[in-house]
Structure 1
Amino acid sequence: MQFIIYILIYPILWLISILPFPIFYAFSDVVCFLVYRIIGYRKKTVRYNIALALPHLSKKEQRAVERKFYSHMCDLFLEMIKTLTLSKKAIQRHFVFTNIDLYHEYEAKNKSIVILYGHYASWEWSTSIGLQAKFRGIGIYKKIKNKYFDKLVQHIRSRYNAELVDTKNTIRVVTENQRKGLKAVYGFISDQNPKPQKALLWDNFMGYKVPIHTGGEVLARKLDMNIIYLKIEKVARGKYEATFVPLCDEVKETPEFEITKRFLREVEKQILEKPEYYFWTHKRWKYKQE
């Protein structure tokens, strides 16, 4: 059944991916109308999260954020599909690293690198770092239950000289690479919502104490890797700029979890500046404490 669903849907995805950008985003508008106005996909969760995290905004302003978010979310999903056929030259026009020289300075230190970033703007196209990195690019992701779509996602996200590692295999792969002396850059989306019993840290995020994902910092500290934040901004429809932001000078000389806390403050600043580009469908505050 999984394979049948896959072979029925894949041709549609491929056709979407080859649409010229003006038609592509017009199609995204249609999808947005269906998802937001007709289906109301996770609208209750989105509305709750925005009201919770942005209480300083009026109801009218919160609804405006909501509408803009759904438009961005549909763009984001379709842009992932666009990656099926988007050339390497094209992706570098649409996703620009503003200070790639700083990243190369970190590579010159001859240590593997952990990149922390949140569910903000376009984490999907950040895999294009593999086109400019000397180190092996590895993204940490959660495996999809449908094995055929999981392979498709792996194919999409690895088109620009990157590869994916399932969260369950992260520690094994990273430590094995380190043992073999293989230098790599690891991408961790670190604003997820871990289960409370597994959380090593609880910290404030948008005004509420929540369990925090600390895997990136823990591995960087244990294996003496450099760690930086990737600040991704949406500057126009289909156009993103990514800037590397140092979080510390030496990982092992920084107090435990201080790096993760600095990362959270960076994500908060982006949310407060342009909240419509945060991924509000996640139940980020499910285990919040007042």
Structure 2
Amino acid sequence: MQSLVYRLAYPLLWLISKLPWRLFYMLSSILYFIVYYFIGYRKKIVTENLVLVFPDKSKKEINKIRKAFYKHMCDMFMEMTKSLSISKEEMIKRFKIIDPDSFRELQSKNKGIIVLMGHYASYEWAIAAQFIMDFPIVAVYKKIKNKHFDNLVHRIRGRFNTRLIHSHNVIKEVTRDKVHKRLCAYGLLSDQSPRLKNALYWTDFMGIKVPIITGGEVLAKRFDMAVAFLKVEKVKRGYYQAKFVTITEDTKNCENHYITKTYLRMLEEQIQNRPELYLWTHKRWKHRNAKTPKGAILD
């Protein structure tokens, strides 16, 4: 059944991706109306997250953010679909890297780079960074349970010969790159909620104590890599800009969790400024009241 759905969905998605931009975003607006008012996709989770993170905001303010988020989410889903056929030139035009010299300065240190990102603005089009950087950029991704749609996402993210690494294989792949003296930048989405049994570091995220994924920091310290935050901002509908903000060039001499906390503060600042651009459908704070595992660090 899942295979049939995929076989039917893929040609339709490809045809949608070929629509002119004006029609494309008209379809996104229609999709928003259906998803928000009729389907109500994860509306309860979104509302609970917003109320939890913004306790001082009124119901009217929460509803305004929620509506703006769903509009952006539908745009982002559609833009991911557009990636099936978008040209390299068009993607560069719509996802601009500003201040590329900051990245080139890190590149000059002759070491690998960890690039930390959040589920904010357009993380799917971030692959455009590889087009203007003379440096291999690798995307670390988490596998989707539905293998057919995992293949679809893999196909989209792997366009333009983008190298993808499954999160379970990242240490093995980075080790292999190190042995073969291949310098790369590894992009990681690092704001997901870890499994409770692996939740060994807890700190505040948006004012709430939760377990935090520290894989990016662990990799950087283990392989002596520099670390940057990819700060993505939405300029207007269908247009984004991003810049690499250096967190550290010297991971081995950083205090434990400095990298993770610095990354979180940068992401928090963006969320506070434009909360509608964050992915509120995730159950990011689901472990906030859970019992911390033995040996966990509370910061």
Q: Given the alignment of the two structures, is residue 94 of structure 1 paired with residue 104 of structure 2, yes or no?
A: no
The alpha-carbon deviation at position 132 of structure 1 amounts to 2.0
The alpha-carbon deviation at position 10 of structure 1 amounts to 0.8
2:168 maps to which residue?
Answer: 168
Q: Given the alignment of the two structures, is residue 146 of structure 1 paired with residue 146 of structure 2, yes or no?
A: yes
Confirm or deny: 8 A CA contact 1:130 1:161 kept in the other structure: no
Confirm or deny: 8 A CA contact 1:96 1:242 kept in the other structure: yes
Confirm or deny: 8 A CA contact 1:154 1:163 kept in the other structure: no
Distance 2:193 2:121 in 1: 18
Distance 1:5 1:48 in 2: 31
Ranges in structure 2 where 5+ consecutive residues have no aligned partner: 291-299
2:294 maps to which residue?
Answer: none
The alpha-carbon deviation at position 7 of structure 1 amounts to 1.5
Deviates more, 1:274-283 or 1:243-252: 243-252
The alpha-carbon deviation at position 195 of structure 1 amounts to 1.6
Q: Name the SS for the 1:234 alignment partner.
A: strand
Deviations 1:164-209 (Å, cap 9, x if unpaired)? 1111111111112112211111001011100222023111011111
TM-score, structure 1 length as denominator? Answer: 0.97
Question: How many equivalent pairs are there?
Answer: 290
**1:174-189 counterparts in 2 under 5 A?**
174-189=174-189
**1:23-42 counterparts in 2 under 5 A?**
23-42=23-42
Distance 1:52 1:148 in 2: 35
Deviations 1:232-260 (Å, cap 9, x if unpaired)? 00110011010111112411111011110
Deviates more, 1:243-252 or 1:140-149: 140-149
**1:56-95 counterparts in 2 under 5 A?**
56-95=56-95
Q: Given residue 279 of structure 1, which amino acid in structure 2 is its aligned partner?
A: L
Deviates more, 1:143-152 or 1:231-240: 143-152
RMSD: 1.3
2:220 maps to which residue?
Answer: 220
1:46 maps to which residue?
Answer: 46
2:156 maps to which residue?
Answer: 156
Q: Given the alignment of the two structures, is residue 197 of structure 1 paired with residue 214 of structure 2, yes or no?
A: no
Deviations 1:203-231 (Å, cap 9, x if unpaired)? 10111110001001100001001110011
Confirm or deny: 8 A CA contact 1:128 1:162 kept in the other structure: no
Confirm or deny: 8 A CA contact 1:228 1:245 kept in the other structure: yes
1:117 maps to which residue?
Answer: 117
Distance 1:189 1:99 in 2: 21
Deviates more, 1:220-229 or 1:168-177: 168-177
Distance 2:197 2:6 in 1: 36
Q: Name the SS for the 1:160 alignment partner.
A: helix
Distance 1:215 1:95 in 2: 27
Distance 1:264 1:22 in 2: 36
The alpha-carbon deviation at position 45 of structure 1 amounts to 0.1
